[in-house]
Amino acid sequence: MRTVPVLIAGGGPVGLTLAHELARHEVGCLVIERNATTTAHPKMDLTNSRTMELYQRLGVAELVRSVGVPPDNPFDVLWCTSPTGTVLHRFAYPSQTERWRQLRDGNDGTQPAEPPVRISQIVLEPALVGSLRTKPTVQHRFGTALEGFVQDAHGVTALLRDAEGRTEQVRARYLVGCDGGGSTVRRVLGIGLDGTPGVRPSYMVHFRSRRHDVLQHFGIVWHTQHATGTIIAQDDDRYWTLQARPPQDVDPATLDPAAVLRGFLGVDIDAEVLVANPWVAHLLVAERYRHGRVFLCGDAAHQFIPTGGYGMNTGVADAVDLGWKLAAVLEGWGGEALLDSYDAERRPVALRNRDASGRHAGVRADIARLYAAHPHADRDAEQAAALGAAIAATGNAENEQWGIEHGYRYAASPVIPDAVADSDFDPATYRPSCEPGGRLPSVFLEDGTNLHRRLGRGFTLVCVGDVDPGPVTDAAAALGIPFGLVRLDGGWSRVYDRALLLVRPDHHLAWSAARAPADWATVLRTACGLPPDRAWS
């Protein structure tokens, strides 16, 4: 029987990210994916700035940028009467190139370390798979499905089936279900879902065309939308996805994709339909993320409406959180409480993101009603102006939620005892903070490098100004914790109001204070989920 430290069921972006995280710690894993190839479905089109920070630490950020849309292309979202009609309102957002300038010029801790990237999942998955092929600790198998599993006190025995029907048993220390909304892992565990299923029916048409006179009639735009749906520019050249709202009195399964596309565009174009299907969005979060040695991650743990782009991006943060903790336990410097903290940290984030996704969908419904209230906007300039002003006033919160992306704090984590909830949390605003549980604020240092790039693969103590950290390095070495020390000039106290910042592998603060503790071993044992009576010398 084949044995592996970690078996990952599901080879989408979340499963692939988890494999990269484990590889970073040189922990072995097997990734199985039931499909024969990477996805043909454009399930996401934005890798947000928080995900890009995490991809930078995994060494794949530049790869992702290289296969995304060109860096000078904007992120504009446009509302119109039709794709060749009248512009009602344009929500303009800067390109990657412009965002890089903003990040460096701001440099006050309020900005992310990396700009977001417009990239289709169709392109992202092959890039991540290609990178994994360079990782000797990772095995990856397409065309292999998880049929079932049993677990005991020491591990999980899983039954796998390949495309030819051959079965195989694999023994793993841990199993992670990254196997999507219909998760086999979640079903076998009997874990239910909290929330609302089937909240919005949609119809997707993914197609190839170079009719830029229609599809880019208003110039390069990320989303072109009106009352009945949205055209997403996947690469600003050949590939596009229409997400349409089907009529209420029509069975979506009976729709003709060419007719749906023609109805949205208002004209016929030469287009090759690549994928078309009805689908239904959900607002659901799993009742729990862990059962024994088995974990849920990504869409297996939560399902959102795509508004806001929270689905995959939340899943990537899940994978990084869980990945370093599994590595710590398998390497011997993490304890059981560290694995318990995965649910305590990530599930509240999913609940918050689920609710935000629902709010954004409500805004889109409001805008659809505004269109209905201005039925002649396509030929009446006064109605068009009024509709545009109403859309502008309604806003575009789904693409402006920097607090949702960067401001979450792990207030209920058993391994961050000093964390407190952010009572003034604002979904739209990220406020840098050195409170335990939050993300380390990002700055570019005097030599031009970002502080996040100075952090090691394990824990890092950031020392601000002339402060004595005490015997922290010796305490970390005694516990076998990968550890690094970064010293900053005292001038950075304008951003970091605490002199000592203990940063976890995922950029979150495990502890912070003005001076060294009396006993570093206790601080480190808590942060790693080790029992308080763990011997060290």
Q: Which helix (H) or strand (E) holds 488?
A: strand 483-488
How many alpha carbons lie under 13 Å from residue 12 in its C-beta half-sphere?
27
Q: How far apart are CA 182 and CA 188, in angstroms?
A: 11
Q: How far apart are CA 325 and CA 341, in angstroms?
A: 9
Give the pLDDT confidence score for residue 537 in this predicted structure.
34
Q: How far apart are CA 504 and CA 527, in angstroms?
A: 8
| Extended beta strands in 192-271, E state | 193-208, 223-226, 229-233, 239-244
Name which of 33, 17, 53 is nearest 131 in CA terms.
Answer: 17
Query: What are 185's two structure tokens?
Result: 């892992």
What are the C-alpha distances in Å from 137 to residues 140, 350, 451? Answer: 10, 30, 28
Give the pLDDT confidence score for residue 249 in this predicted structure.
83
Q: How far apart are CA 462 and CA 474, in angstroms?
A: 16
Q: Which residues pair with 7 in a beta bridge?
A: 30, 175
CA dihedral 489, 493, 494, 498 (to 10 degrees): 150
Give the pLDDT confidence score for residue 248 in this predicted structure.
82
Q: What length is written for the chain?
A: 537
Reading the chain (537 residues) residue by residue, the pLDDT tens digits are 999 999 999 999 999 999 999 999 999 999 999 999 999 988 889 999 999 999 999 999 999 999 999 999 999 999 999 999 999 999 999 999 999 999 999 999 999 999 999 999 999 999 999 999 999 999 999 999 999 999 999 999 999 999 999 999 999 999 999 999 999 999 999 999 999 999 988 999 999 999 999 999 999 999 999 999 999 999 999 999 999 998 888 888 899 999 999 999 999 999 999 999 999 999 999 999 999 999 999 999 999 999 999 999 999 999 999 999 999 999 999 999 999 999 999 999 999 999 999 999 999 999 999 999 999 999 999 999 999 999 999 999 999 999 999 999 999 999 999 999 888 899 999 999 999 999 999 999 999 999 999 999 999 999 999 999 999 999 999 999 999 999 999 999 999 999 999 999 999 999 999 999 999 999 999 999 999 864 443
pTM of the model: 0.97
Name which of 398, 301, 295, 399 is nearest 355 in CA terms.
Answer: 398
Is residue 537 within 8 A of residue 478, CB to CB? The reply is yes
Is residue 225 within 8 A of residue 267, CB to CB? The reply is no
Name the residue type at position 161.
R
Give the pLDDT confidence score for residue 533 in this predicted structure.
61
